[in-house]
């Protein structure tokens, strides 16, 4: 009788082992536990499938970085989009007038008309006024923060090559011998705000348009 039971036990173990060979890690985890149950009469504790966890955890981590549904996209108010407007002025055609309080830059066209661009201007304490001329033009300019800015912001890079990540954006018009520029930006949602250290920032497509319309020597009136 004992020989019959022993034979049945070996047959059962062989069957489970055979199933484990084709079922992968799941079957192999059952094998030892099944023998333990036959020998001790105690159901085995389920084992963690570490391979399965290793394969699924990275995907779970990626979901944690996914954008939340319904996230609000930062947009530019329509009143700051480029448009041609009526603009009576004594300034000659080709001149640039910067209306700091209204956050508009006007390129005088003549005949009482002007091209109007939305701009970002200096933060409180950094706004200024005066008359300058365009002394230099640059495409995708490099950026070297001046010592005064580095003193306020020591975390800034000492130099940055021109490109899409550069805060000066796609074009720059340098104003006289000052530190001020009319330039693009890699943060277009800041147009219409008091955000800069005195420079006039524009959307990249707008500063590119202005860059093509004005030359070195252009008169710039900042109000």
Strands 200-201, 83-86: pairing is: unpaired
Predicted local confidence at residue 10, as pLDDT: 46
Contact, 89 vs 55, CB < 8 A?
Answer: no
Predicted local confidence at residue 30, as pLDDT: 43
Contact, 76 vs 205, CB < 8 A?
Answer: no
Predicted local confidence at residue 114, as pLDDT: 98
Contact, 211 vs 167, CB < 8 A?
Answer: no
Cα–Cα distance, 38 to 190 (Å, whole number): 72
Ordered structural domains, the chain, with CATH: 2-60 (no CATH), 78-222 (2.40.440.10)
3-state secondary structure at position 220: strand
* Dihedral sign from CA coordinates of 188, 191, 194, 199: positive
Q: Where are the extended beta strands (E) located within the chain?
A: 83-86, 96-99, 104-110, 113-118, 121-122, 130-139, 171-175, 181-183, 194-196, 200-201, 219-222
Catalytic residue among 103, 171, 183, 201, which? 183
Predicted local confidence at residue 75, as pLDDT: 82
Catalytic residue among 97, 173, 199, 214, which? 199
C-alpha 59 chain-centroid distance: 23
Contact, 104 vs 197, CB < 8 A?
Answer: no
What are the residues facing 172 on neighbouring strands? 138, 183
Respond yes or no: is residue 177 known to be catalytic.
no
Respond yes or no: is residue 199 known to be catalytic.
yes
Cα–Cα distance, 161 to 138 (Å, whole number): 13
What are the pLDDT tens digits along the chain (223 aa)? 545 444 544 444 444 444 444 444 434 444 444 444 444 454 544 444 443 333 333 333 222 222 333 333 478 899 999 999 999 999 999 999 999 999 999 999 999 999 999 999 999 999 999 999 999 999 999 989 888 888 988 998 899 999 999 999 999 999 999 999 999 999 999 999 999 999 999 999 999 999 999 999 999 999 9
């Amino acid at each position: 009788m004992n020989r019959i039971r022993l034979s049945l036990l070996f047959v059962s173990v062989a069957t489970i082992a055979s199933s484990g060979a084709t079922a992968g890690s799941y079957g192999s985890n059952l094998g030892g536990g099944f023998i333990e149950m036959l020998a001790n009469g105690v159901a085995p504790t389920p084992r963690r499938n570490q391979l399965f966890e290793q394969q699924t955890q990275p995907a779970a981590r990626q979901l944690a970085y996914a954008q939340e549904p319904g996230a609000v996209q930062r947009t530019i108010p329509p009143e700051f989009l480029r448009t041609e407007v009526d603009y009576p002025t004594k300034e000659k055609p080709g001149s640039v007038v910067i209306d700091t309080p209204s956050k508009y830059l006007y390129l005088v066209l003549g005949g009482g008309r002007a091209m109007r661009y939305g701009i970002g201007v200096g933060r409180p304490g950094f706004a200024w006024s005066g008359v300058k001329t365009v002394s230099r033009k640059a495409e995708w300019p490099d950026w070297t923060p001046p010592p005064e800015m580095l003193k306020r912001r020591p975390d800034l890079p000492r130099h940055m090559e021109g490109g899409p990540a550069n805060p000066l954006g796609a074009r720059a018009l340098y104003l006289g011998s000052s530190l001020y520029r009319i330039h693009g930006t890699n943060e277009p949602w800041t147009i219409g705000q008091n955000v800069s250290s005195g420079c006039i920032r524009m959307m990249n497509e707008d500063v590119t348009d202005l860059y093509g319309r004005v030359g070195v020597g252009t008169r710039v009136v900042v109000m």
